[in-house]
Structure 1
Amino acid sequence: MKNSVLPLILFTFCFANATDVNVPSKFSIATFAISEYEDNWQNNSSQSKETADALVNSFKKNIKDNYPKTSFISKQYYNESVTKQHFSSTDNFNFVFYKGHGSPNTITMWPKNEYVRNKDKRFGGQTYWVLIRSCLVFKNGASNQDPWFNGVHSILGYSSLSWNYKKYKHYYRCGFLNIGQCSYSRASYYVERDFATNWIKEKKGIWESYKNAVYKWIAKEQGKGVEPKIVYRYGYVDGIFFDPWEEKFENSIQKPVFKNAGEYKGIGSRWSTMGTPCYSTPCK
């Protein structure tokens, strides 16, 4: 009995350590968040700075707690700093986040009438993942995701309207005979907070991490219809099939992929329809 247990223990130990063989030695993130636009050329975008901060802080904490040897760098742009010029210079950051108004194939910058369209920006260099917290950028049947790609592994976003709400407390009866009062907080930026936790600490795939966070804090907690989406190219990397929607942080590929035609097998996307989403602004 003892002899049969020892090999199992050794195998389990080796396997557990082998799974972290591709943990990044460094992780960098750039965020772009707009709350108020120049001359009010767009409506205010609720919870933008709070959302960007939540994502950065969650990444920082989870990486420090789970992968202390991985260095962490962040650069944050807010309001008037969110310009087309700054947004064009993201290639040195592994993760890029944007929070502001969008439409199919398009996001808005702070300066009046300044847009970034899919044919204006190709994510590449050291950028492997992108999250666009905007409405309708990847609307099914109305968007063309391919021009965004120049080596980036995957881009997370929405096919529908996305939803924002300020942090508040939900109170409920608890304790002996339900005579006590308890509470817990809710906020739309918990989506980004929990996405980073799911991906880093819980070691889930990037799509599952994002989809689950959207469901918990938008669909389930608020009862809002929403359609999160991930877009990507797929194919073989170094002879091994790579489907970016499944990518895990601790086993991530640390280089650009599928930059040119002929290097990938196809263009993919996945989405989850939660409730009854809205596909126009205002919601009809």
Structure 2
Amino acid sequence: MATLTRPAGGEAITLVPTRPEGVADCLVFAREYSGRTRLAGLVSAALVGVAGATFATRIDAQASTLPVLLLGFSFVGGLLSTWSPCGYSSLCLLRPVGRNSVSSLAKYTPTFLLHGLGYALGAVILGVILGLAGGLLGFSGASFLSLVVLGLAGLVYGGHQFGFLRVPYPQRRAQVPHDARQRFPMWFIGGLYGFSLGLNYLTYVQTPILYLVTAAAVASGNVASAIVLFLAFNVGRFLPMAVNYLPVSDITVQNWLARRQEGAAMLDGVLLVATGAALLTFAVL
């Protein structure tokens, strides 16, 4: 069992292992949010999603709103994936060496850029595979069936994030290889981590938004659309690495993340439910 301890003597967040690989689901709601608060958040998110989709349909803007909704959803999902074992690991392992200075940051920049390149390459590979698979299966973009399936998936996984359901996470529960740092130069590790994380299913991702992005990529039936969806997701995953250019310590960053673990999970649930409700509304209107 692993524990993330809050600063200044606060309560700890307990991570309970569920697989032999040791990567755990984070149980965050026992202390921070009451059942009533979570239910209010779920209902409010659903109402916002229905209202937004209804308004877009009334002004005949569904065709332009849907791509923006999915891209924004993908990008924020990538940001929320920072609150996962690999997000914590990348931020603390891929840091400039020594004091924060022009020289240390210049030496760090190849690591940062190759990390981003790895994410981009991962997005392209996933997009090609899923876009081609969708095309071969006969999908060709938004349809009643695809919107209903995506919408229901959003509601179900939103209920999971709010703590009302327990839904399985069918992915590899593993982290990036920490020992690689002792075997390879930092710039190589940056690219290796970026590529493995950019493929998304080689390591554990704590946000179910990944599943909806995957399903949307397949439903598009289009390689370019699928690549763009995963580029948006991976840009969200990559951008937090820019914090390493700031003059802040690793423990400060880690504590900031730990203090907001519950809030990130709540936002995850809000986005999933609101987007799911919006997609279902688009399907029936």
| TM band (smaller chain) | under 0.3
Decide which structure has greater strand share.
Answer: 1
**Higher-RCO chain (CA-CA 8 Å, sequence separation at least 6):** 2
Name the one with the larger helix percent: 2
Q: TM-score, normalised by structure 2?
A: 0.23
